[in-house]
Amino acid sequence: QVAEADVLLVRSVTQVNEVLLKHNRRINFVGSATIGLDHVDTDYLRRRQIPFANAPGCNAQSVVEHVISALVILAERQNYRLSDRSVGVIGRGQIGSRLVTALSSLGVTVKANDPPKQSQGEQGLAELEEVLACDIVSLHVPLVTDGAHATYQLINAEHLKQFKPSKVLINTSRGEVIDERALQQQLDRARGPLLVLDVYKGEPRIDPVTVNSCLFATPHIAGYSLEGRTKGTEMLYQAF
């Protein structure tokens, strides 16, 4: 289908790599209406000098509202004020920054961690261990498999062992950011955190055990709003 295309526009499912494009010699623009890039081989595109654009922040507000909605419902069910809990935000990009602002405006104590931004001199960031000590931890990082700031299994077995059963762990980024096997081991021992998951390891072939362990489970739709989809399309149009 793309062999004769001049332009390729995708969302999050299509794997854009050499296998897909090796027979196409006329393509001159690739765009993904997404924040995440783990489905795009950007190194391959650079080698072929094919311009590429994505849409960072297009669905950020939708994800923020998803997280806050979950927290408000949880606070209501467990009969506490959200402002009496501390929230740790890992990743202060487009989504994380907005979440920090929104929670702060609700009177919630928020600590944020973002090593790449910290290395660039950005102020007001906390160390990972300090953020993980909060009552609620929300993940908003890209999936990075190697390098100094890798996020693959960022929340590992050692971290999970330190989590109390009352802690809330929210993931709306990528499933592989959590060591799902270690998480399940903690849950089997009744020592795991309360889970609010929108993403899972190996999507779409996800482990039903993990889903059934969640307090709230949604099928990767936190950012799937009409606003987000429209904005992503508009950003790609402008980039093209």
Q: Which are the catalytic amino acids?
A: 174, 203, 220
| b/e per residue 62-96 (b: at least 16 CB within 10 A) | bbbbbbbebbeebbeeeeeebeebbbbbbbbbbbb
Query: What would the two tokens of residue 147 be?
Result: 């390098």
**Residue whose structure tokens are 């969640």:** 214
Cα 228 from Cα 40, distance rounded (Å):
20
Phi and psi torsions of 168, nearest 5°: -110, 130
CA dihedral (24, 29, 33, 38) positive or negative = positive
Element (H, E) at 194: strand 194-197
Residue 233 tokens, joined: 């399309």
- Looking at residue 16, what DSSP letter applies? B
